[in-house]
Amino acid sequence: MTMDELHAFVIGAAETFCPWKPRHPMSMDYNNPLKEEYHYYLIGRAAGFIALLCVILLFSWNIKEVL
């Protein structure tokens, strides 16, 4: 896995796992890893969603145990 592939994956995972509105829109004008490694970005988004879902499920399970 190259650094561009890893960077695209991490961007996708972070955008999904931390669903805050971005402060600065990402421009496709400059040379960024999303231009050529978009499939890694999509895989990262899927992994981020699965991780977020697991955190929510674990949190709700723990709350149910406490109550």
Q: Report pLDDT for 55.
A: 93
**pLDDT confidence of residue 30:** 59
Per-residue confidence (pLDDT) for residue 8, from 0 to 100? 87
In a domain, 27, yes or no: no
In a domain, 43, yes or no: yes
Between helix 38-66 and helix 3-17 the angle, nearest 10°, is 40
Q: Look up the domain containing 46 and give its range.
A: 3-19+34-66
Q: What pLDDT was estimated at residue 22?
A: 65
The string of pLDDT tens digits covering residues 7-50 is 889 888 888 888 777 666 666 665 676 778 888 988 999 999 99
Cα dihedral 8→9→13→16 (10° resolution): 50
Nearest partner of 15 among 40, 38, 49, 58, judged by Cα? 49
The tally of domains found in the chain comes to 1
Give me the pLDDT at residue 29, please. 63
Is 29 part of a structural domain of the chain? no
Tell me the C-alpha distance between 45 and 39, whole Å. 10
Judge whether 40 lies within some domain: yes
Comparing CA positions, the residue from 22, 11, 20, 21 lying closest to residue 45 is 11
pLDDT of residue 60: 93
Q: Is residue 24 part of a domain?
A: no
